[in-house]
């Protein structure tokens, strides 16, 4: 019995799990920020799971002797996170992405939140890096230096008890993205209270820097809309994306058969208003107010590309499902 008590007291309080795939540009900075925290190093462990990176991510992680580094060559990001959690010895799991930084007092604030709000699940938002591009500043709208808090838990900043994590069977391993939202939905369905607070904000280095990167990221994020259709229909973004897809076809059909320029103009204006409404919603939610026409136009352009990318991802997921069905029936 004594040996068991000693073993438990020797276990770290926090287990920080970091999935990594082709993150050689950021993983070193991520780990450096964690290992220089203003917190007792005996009270936390760091677990890195490399998902078969084609760059030097794995080798860079191995250079940090304090880190426990594993490889999972196949599997979606949910499987990678679960693999890391399976190696954890701590009472509390922390999930952060390999392209994010913790400030030196991050764990102290996490511990304080746990003490103040016991038996909750905790999360934070993502802050802009110092050298943020116009794409980053137009997407992650910060008001008075603070990011907009997400409505759901994000993989870049999630804290919960190890016991609860396994009670709900961890992350969904079948989806290629959106595993964090899925986890949030299952937690709330399980009546587990969730607290998202600025205390757990992290700095995100891996934001899209170019319009093409931004577009590709939105395609990837929406590939699972069709496979998770029951959850998707509850998502306002999915509904907006669906309308954004349908309206151009409506314009095309009515222009061929009705030849009404008025209806065409109204339809096109309606189509263009969807990203505009999204821009207004984002600005309102983040309390970001500007009269600068360049800033407003930049935000609108990003929301247009956002919906275009989500539309392409939705269509890609649909055609993938059709191909799977055809393959299964042949």
Question: What DSSP character marks residue 140?
Answer: S
Give yes or no: residues 185 and 236 share one domain.
no
Dig out the tokens for 131 from the structure: 């050298």
Same domain, 297 and 152: no
* Residue at 220 is within a domain: no
* Same-domain pairing of 47 and 173: yes
In a domain, 213, yes or no: no
Indicate if 190 and 249 belong to the same structural domain: no
* pLDDT tens per residue, range 267-313: 888 899 999 999 999 999 888 988 899 999 999 999 999 999 999 99
Structural domain total, the chain = 2
- Domain-located, residue 90: yes
> Which residues form the domain of 49?
2-207
Query: Quick check: 96 and 204 in contact, CB under 8 A?
Result: no
What global pTM score does this model have? Answer: 0.80
Determine the pLDDT at residue 327: 62
Q: What is the pLDDT of residue 262?
A: 78
Domain match, 60 and 182 both: yes
- Residue-level pLDDT at 11: 59
Cβ(213)–Cβ(257) below 8 Å = no
Measured CA to CA, the distance from residue 292 to residue 130 in angstroms comes to 22
Let me know whether 198 and 279 are in one domain: no
Q: Are residues 189 and 271 part of one domain? A: no
- Contact between 20 and 51 (Cβ < 8 Å): yes
For the chain, which ranges sit under pLDDT 70? Answer: 1-11, 258-260, 325-330
262: left (phi over 0), alpha (psi -120 to 50) or beta: alpha
Do 105 and 158 belong to one domain?
yes
Q: What is the pLDDT of residues 221-280, one digit of tens each?
A: 898 888 778 888 888 899 999 999 998 888 777 777 766 677 778 888 889 999 999 999
What CATH number is attached to the domain comprising 176? 3.90.550.10
In angstroms, rounded to a whole number, what is the distance separating the alpha carbons of residues 299 and 137? 9
């Amino acid at each position: 019995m004594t040996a068991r008590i000693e073993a438990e007291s020797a276990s770290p309080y926090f287990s920080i799990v970091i999935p990594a795939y082709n993150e050689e540009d950021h993983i070193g900075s991520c780990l450096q920020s964690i290992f220089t925290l203003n917190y007792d190093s005996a009270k936390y462990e760091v677990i890195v799971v490399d998902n078969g990176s084609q760059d030097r991510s794995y080798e860079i992680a191995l250079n940090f002797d304090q880190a426990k580094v594993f490889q999972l060559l196949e599997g979606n990001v949910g499987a990678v996170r679960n693999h890391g959690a399976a190696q954890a010895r701590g009472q509390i799991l922390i999930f952060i992405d390999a392209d994010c930084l913790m400030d030196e007092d991050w764990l102290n604030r996490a511990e304080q939140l746990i003490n103040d709000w016991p038996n909750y699940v905790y999360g934070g938002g993502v802050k802009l890096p110092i050298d943020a591009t116009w794409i980053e500043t137009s997407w992650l709208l910060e008001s008075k230096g603070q990011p907009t808090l997400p409505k759901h838990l994000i993989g870049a900043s999630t804290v919960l008890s190890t016991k609860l994590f396994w009670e709900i069977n961890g992350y969904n391993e079948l989806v290629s993205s959106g595993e964090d939202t899925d986890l949030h939905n299952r937690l709330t369905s399980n009546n587990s209270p969730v607290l998202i607070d600025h205390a757990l904000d992290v700095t995100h280095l891996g934001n899209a820097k170019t319009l093409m990167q931004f577009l590709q990221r939105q395609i990837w994020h929406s590939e699972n809309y069709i496979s998770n259709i029951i959850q998707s229909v509850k998502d306002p973004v999915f509904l907006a994306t669906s309308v954004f897809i349908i309206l151009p076809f409506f314009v095309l059909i009515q222009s061929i058969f009705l030849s009404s320029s008025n209806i065409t103009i109204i339809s096109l204006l309606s189509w263009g208003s969807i990203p505009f409404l999204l821009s207004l919603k984002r600005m309102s939610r983040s309390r970001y107010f500007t009269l600068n026409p360049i800033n407003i136009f930049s935000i609108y352009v990003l929301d247009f590309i956002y919906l275009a990318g989500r539309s392409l991802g939705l269509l890609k997921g649909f055609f993938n499902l059709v191909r799977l069905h055809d393959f299964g029936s042949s």
